[in-house]
Amino acid sequence: MTPPAPVPRLFGPSFAARPDDAYDLLRAAGPVAWAEIADGVHALVVTGRRAAVDVVTDTDTYSKDSRLWEALQQGRVPADSPVLALMAYRPSLLYADGERHARLRRAMDDCLRRINMHELREITRRHALRLIDDFAGEGRAELMSQYADMLPLLVFTDLLGCPPELVERMVTGCQGMINAGPEAAQGAADLAQCLAEIIAMKDGSPGRDCTSWMLAHPARLTHEETLHQLVVLVGAGTIPTSAWIASGLRLLLSDDHYAGDLTAGAVTVRRALEQVLWTQSPMANFSVHFARHDTALHGVPVPRGVPILISHAATGTDPALPPLGYDNRSHLAWSAGPHRCPADSQAAAIAQTAIETLLDQLWDLELGAGGGANRPGPFHQCPATLAIRFRPRPADASLTPTASTGGSRVQRTPDSRPHRKAPL
């Protein structure tokens, strides 16, 4: 089926700067509508929350197996398209249905359950302090490249038992893969190579890490299955968490509803993170499904074999939703149904610890200029940059963990509101 033209484009500078314009156009066409997600690549995008729930829970009608993608099978998707890094088939739970998905999901769930949450927070805090130490004396930083991008991946390299010499390669590969730019295919290949090296190392010398646990799981995954399970774990666990950290910090430091209450601590941080999941979902458009046969979704024709993306960003701001409040966790940022994200608790622990540690350690923290546009690409919603400034830490001072209060050392005026200076 040829989609109508023109349709909204969910990539490029215009989309990165004003994504809501594209979502408004999609909503005007119905709860599911055609969009272009890369040059020459079209998909149906679900913006209505009720319709999205129907897709992700109706496994008889909709499949996750991207080998059903007819345009790809017929050679109508450019071989170098950047979206293939995340949409082309892999032998992992992300693209599996039925019993095969259940088997792979059990292995993933069991390995994630073995992660000690207290240790996870301590690992996150330790890496966070080291990263902060690199710029604490400067009085300014670009938090995406210096903090939010790096921290989740450093944590996951520990969880995977990754040797230090592979860390930088994994950072570069993972970012390239999910950015859905020209470097996507190479990024995916580089990440897979790093994980293959870790698997080979752990196969001969297992440790107390997710790679070793996956290899030893009773589901008896092959090395290829293990590799692609870990690709999902790293890709889904790091870049979206980086975006969640950055968007949470931006909200806390820019929204007056939060800025006056930062000393309230962890409760304020958790609420801001939940609001981000409603209004700035880190995974903007994903959870790709394919109709097994021609069907209709809330009155809209859905042809067999066409990619159907759930717009987690648009469903969270669906005008049809009643005012639920941000403490309500019925958003679809984690998806729903059998493919709901298995690592939401771990991601939340990393994101909250990351923000609390930064707010604990830096004084007079303020946002700099810019940071309004997102990174390009259809899949994730992440600030392109996030400049901050703060009172420089004296050279002879050291960063030490404080009690987990999340209290920010934000400069206060007598009315207890943050003191805002001219932007950088």
Strand ordering across the sheet containing 285-291? 32-38, 41-46, 307-311, 285-291, 62-63
Strand-pair category, 41-46 with 307-311 = parallel
Q: Which two tokens stand for residue 106?
A: 């059990």
Residues 80 and 113: their CA atoms lie apart, in Å, by: 37
Which tokens belong to 389?
């400034």
> Taking the alpha carbons of 389, 391, 396, 397 in that order, is the dihedral positive or negative?
negative
Give the integer Cα–Cα distance in Å for 411 and 391.
9
In degrees, rounded to 5, the angle at the alpha carbon of residue 281 between the alpha carbons of residues 318 and 274 is: 90
Give CA–CA dist 378/9, Å, rounded.
9
Neighbours of 286 (CB within 10 A): 22
- Specify the range with the lowest mean pLDDT, choosing from 52-66, 125-139, 308-322, 385-399: 385-399
Question: How far apart are alpha carbons 302 and 423 in whole angstroms?
Answer: 48
pTM for the whole structure: 0.90
Per mean pLDDT, which of 144-158, 301-315, 386-400 is the most reliable?
A: 301-315
CATH of 13-391, one of 1.10.630.10, 1.10.730.10, 3.90.1150.10, 3.40.50.970: 1.10.630.10
In one-letter notation, the amino acid at residue 339 is H
**Which pLDDT belongs to residue 359?**
94
Which one is predicted more confidently, 157 or 403? Answer: 157
Does the structure show a pLDDT above 80 at 423? no
What was the pLDDT predicted at 290?
A: 98
CA angle 122, 123, 125 (to 5 degrees): 60
Half-sphere exposure of 18 (CA within 13 A, CB side): 6
Q: Which residue is listed with tokens 């805090």?
A: 125
Say whether pLDDT at 266 is over 70. Answer: no
Distance of CA 46 to the CA centre of its chain: 18
Cβ-contact 412, 419 below 8 angstroms: yes
**pLDDT for res 419:** 36
Instruction: Return the H-helix or E-strand segment holding 154.
Output: helix 150-160
C-alpha dist (Å) from residue 235 to 8, 116, 242, 399: 26, 21, 11, 30
pLDDT of residue 401 exceeding 90, the answer is no
- Give 389's strand partners: 140, 366
Whether 393 has a pLDDT exceeding 70, the answer reads yes
What DSSP character marks residue 2? P
pLDDT per residue over 211-224, tens digit each? 999 999 999 999 99
Q: What is the pLDDT of residues 97-155, one digit of tens each?
A: 999 999 999 999 999 999 999 999 999 999 999 999 999 999 999 999 999 999 998 99
pLDDT at 259: 63
CA distances (Å), 39 to each of 7, 89, 277, 405, 423, in order? Answer: 12, 20, 28, 47, 36
User: Mean pLDDT of all residues in the chain?
Assistant: 88
pLDDT of residue 416: 31
For 204, counting Cβ atoms within 10 Å of its Cβ (0-12 exposed, 13-18 middle, 19+ buried), the class is exposed
**3-class SS at 411?**
coil
